[in-house]
Chains A and B, each alone.
Chain A
Amino acid sequence: MPVLAIKLAYRNLVGAGLRTWLNVSVLSFAFVVIIFHNGLIDGWNQQARRDTIAWEYGFGHLLNKAYDPYDPFSLQDGHGILQTKMRQRLIPVLIQQGTLYPGGRMVPVLLKGIETDQEILKLPTKLFLKTDADIPALIGKRMARALKLKKGDRVLLRWRDKNATFDAANITIIGIFNNNVPTVDNGQIWIPIEKLWEMTGLSGHATLFIATNDYVHVPIPGWHFKDHDTLLAVLDNMIAMKKVGGSIIYFLLLALALLAIFDTQVLSVFRRQREIGTYIALGMTRLQVVALFSMEGAMNSLLATLVGSLYGIPLLFYFAKIGIGMPATADDMGISIAERIFPVYGAGLILGTIALVVISATIVSFLPAKKIAKMDPADALKGKIQ
């Protein structure tokens, strides 16, 4: 029966003409939008992971046990010294609090000391080697925009040393780096770690170490290591939440398309009663007729997949190539987001979407078709509404 149902369903759909193509158009649009939206989110996810690793996480973080990245109060004591032999393949970062006074305003900042010759993060720390400024500082584009600072500006910084004594001096902005990772940018000032050690008296101290690619972690008392999966879990969760939010739109679209199929099927069961009666008179069982109608719904979705492929593949390929420009305000979302996001369409996404559309279309076709099983064929032949 499946082969026969497919053959007959195909004939019926092609024969139904405009009605079929309307359903197919709406469904194919939903199909393309679902793939595009998920591809965009996946592309964003991949870009965010890539950029966050390149700008912030390196190959993992070795954190002082007293330091909690989500608790600013832990900065006071969350640092320590690691023996030289344990520091192999690790880049130290010391984080302290400070206050910046740009244009007479008072802005709390995080002072981050980092090695000038590190190459593991994309931060342009090599610039520190080319300046003779007393306290050279690097800031990100968001920080520069927020504080209206530009390269060459000198601005007063106040900090507290290890004895809790406040000190202040002018820092010089020697570079503004362009990046997609707000967590290395917003409210942060990067300075050479040797200078920060000197300013705070915390010589040799680090709040965390960034692992290089050949780092092999062995447990170190007082420190704990976070690998990529742990560090990126927050980012993954945030993107997953965005995905759920966006899903509402395409589920609405899919629901509209399915409603169109459901409506067509309900109408068909009433309008095509004489045809149903004829099928039965010609020797089809009721279940075969139900299967035929369900198959018509499923084929609607398969046709939608074909039609969607015709215009969707070039369209999606085009967007994957040129990317989607993100508005300037997207910078303020707090998640790593590039100026252009390049959608990524995986096999899982495409096959999953096809399965979703086909299965849901079959189910909504089957529901009204079930009514056929209860029809009296003699009345159906007369076209009597039952």
Chain B
Amino acid sequence: MKIISVENVVKCFPVGDGKFTALDHISLDFFTGEFAGLVGPSGSGKTTLLNIIGSLDKPSKGKAQVAGKDIEALTHKQAAQLRNHSIGFIFQVFNLLPVYTVFENVEFALLLQKKPWHERKKAVMDALEWVGLENMADKKISKLSGGESQRVAIARAMVKRPRIMLADEPSANLDAKNTHSIMETMKTLNQEFKTTFLFSTHDEKVMQYLDRIIHLEDGKVVKDEIITSRKEDF
């Protein structure tokens, strides 16, 4: 089932008196349960495309449809609802809220969904169990290692059981061991919940887990390769 559809998307940013084209007529489709990645050098448009799919930004031209919603037509409120219910984000620098505990960070999205306390508690503890941090619920973020922080970020993104997970350079601040560990966790979640994962990366260690790799260069798709036996599912 198609969950993300990007059609002839162009994204330009003003630079001085001119403009910089970050995405140049990109067309891509992603299906439920894909474990795909956007790969390319810095400035190739990976993060810009992720931001558009994540409804954090709008295309200058073209159409982007995510979970049945036209991104360019969404109001701020509708975009917030889409992010809150259907999209999970994982960031390069984790973006955890430093004044909260591990539990409170993971709980945040559920608070926005106004879930009752007993539901929140169960969901948060389940999410922490998925990432192996169930014993660290009361810890402050400042006490965590990089790998643990990224696991909290994964739990925070997964706790609301989104249909789509967007991970922007999730391994950039992790060592090899932690990178493999979080990728394995995400792969398990992908298989268990059929959540669509879309990565932006140029890390070989991440790429080896991906089922589909889309190569971007100067805002254009230069190669779209399906890697594993999951081909037939798409």
Contacts and interface: CB of A to CB of B under 8 A. Distances in A.
Interface of A: 4, 7-8, 11-12, 14-16, 274-275, 277-278, 280-288, 376-378, 381
Given A281-B89, A283-B80, A283-B84, A16 B111 contact: no
Contacts of B81: 283
A282 B108 CA distance: 8
Given A11-B100, A283-B83, A285-B80, A378 B57 contact: yes
Interface in B94-131: 95-100, 104, 108-109, 111-114
6 contacts: A11-B100, A11-B104, A15-B99, A281-B83, A281-B95, A284-B84
A280 B80 contact: yes
A282 B89 contact: yes
A12 B80 contact: no
Contacts of B93: 274
Contacts of B76: 285-287
B100 A282 contact: no
A285 B80 CA distance: 5
A343 B112 CA distance: 47
Contacts of A8: 111
A285 B77 contact: yes
B54 interface: yes
B95 A274 contact: yes
B51 interface: yes
Report the contact-size class of chain B (Cβ under 8 Å from the partner): 20 to 34
B74 to A, nearest CB: 12
Most chain-A CB neighbours within 10 Å: which of B77, B96, B100, B111? Answer: B111
B91 interface: yes
Contacts of A287: 76
Contacts of B108: 282
A170 B83 CA distance: 98
Given A11-B100, A274-B95, A282-B83, A4 B77 contact: no
B85 interface: yes
A15 B100 contact: yes
Contacts of B80: 280, 283-285, 288
Given A4-B112, A281-B89, A15 B84 contact: no
B56 interface: yes
Contacts of A286: 76
Given A282-B84, A377-B57, 11 more contacts: A12-B99, A281-B54, A281-B83, A283-B80, A283-B81, A283-B84, A283-B109, A283-B113, A285-B76, A285-B77, A287-B76
A16 B80 CA distance: 26
A8 B81 CA distance: 19
Nearest to B140: A15
